[in-house]
Homo-oligomer: A and B are copies of this chain.
């Protein structure tokens, strides 16, 4: 049997720093648990543009299609703000999502006990929070045509198209119901069916899939604006939330911020099963490239490390090893180790990116 393969795309800003710590974890699994991965590394985002004039080359795209899982750091930075829309760093990430057809973006929003105080929300509102947002990731206004900036008379007009087919909605709904069955069996679907026909179709299809295939799961529907409110008011009312690409972008970031520990949150983007039964998959932290602190050894590597834990769970069927890694992270936090982003008023000394990575390896 060949080793499972990983493509690592560190990307821009703090991406390379946090990914270096993930490499330590991967090496540990090879050395101590006999789980050897074939690892290759490549460019995505601004650094790919600098090297090749495109945020993702066809070669890298082809490699991503072949491996068992892609790990991505972060893309973007002010250096690339003035680039044309078509070669912006984000286009590299969006191309990966689209061509790998990673339709289900799993974004857990979990509050770590040791960090509950760090949230801007009251401790009782977020303590013990554990919700999962499933965001549709390959369609909607992110990819719909027509799009662009056109001239009408002497005015510019900006156009994007929100577009969802029945089967696009159905497959991500199934992902949500499947996940809910392994959790607390509750799904809340969010859209704006009161103002958008695409939301009407979304609501109808989610309900149909539920009634036909998952009648045992508790399903509710909420308008996305009310969803934003309810997430802020009492997030623990939710278990799994399923929503479209654009609403998911805002709502999952909002949910992430509720926990107060953005530097802690991983994500998985999953597609259809490949020939070997593993889903197409890309794992990345929720945080961005944080250009302001890049290269200073200040970044928190935990989100990226926990993204690898998600890879163990969802790509390699190693739930127990994923648990082990997650527990190592919690143990390090319980010991009081904090990177700079996790320092509140209590005036601890922050540890560096590498120190945090080493401490987690030591706990393993």
Contacts and interface: CB of A to CB of B under 8 A. Distances in A.
Nearest to A89: B194
Interface string A238-255: 000000001101110110
A155 B142 contact: no
Contacts of A125: 120
Interface in A207-228: 224-226, 228
A76 interface: yes
Interface in A239-285: 246-247, 249-251, 253-254, 256-258, 262
Interface string A122-166: 100100000000000000011010011100100111111111111
A201 interface: yes
Assembly of this chain: how many copies? 2
A198 B246 CA distance: 14
A332 interface: no
A250 B228 CA distance: 6
Interface string A161-186: 11111110000000000000000000
A contacts with B: majority SS: helix
B152 A165 contact: yes
Contact of A162 (B121, B159, B257, B258): B159
Interface stretch (A22-30, A65-73, A229-237): A229-237
Contacts of A121: 120-122, 232
A163 B162 CA distance: 11
A140 to B, nearest CB: 10
A202 B156 CA distance: 10
A200 interface: yes
B196 A160 contact: yes
Contact of A199 (B158, B162, B253, B254): B158
Given A120-B125, A162-B160, A166-B156, A148 B232 contact: no
A157 B194 CA distance: 17
A39 interface: no
Contacts of A338: none
Given A192-B246, A225-B250, 13 more contacts: A88-B194, A90-B195, A120-B121, A121-B121, A122-B122, A157-B164, A157-B166, A158-B163, A158-B196, A192-B249, A224-B249, A226-B288, A228-B251
Top 9 nearest A-B pairs (CB, nearest first) are A158-B201, A158-B198, A225-B253, A229-B257, A232-B257, A160-B162, A228-B254, A120-B125, A155-B166
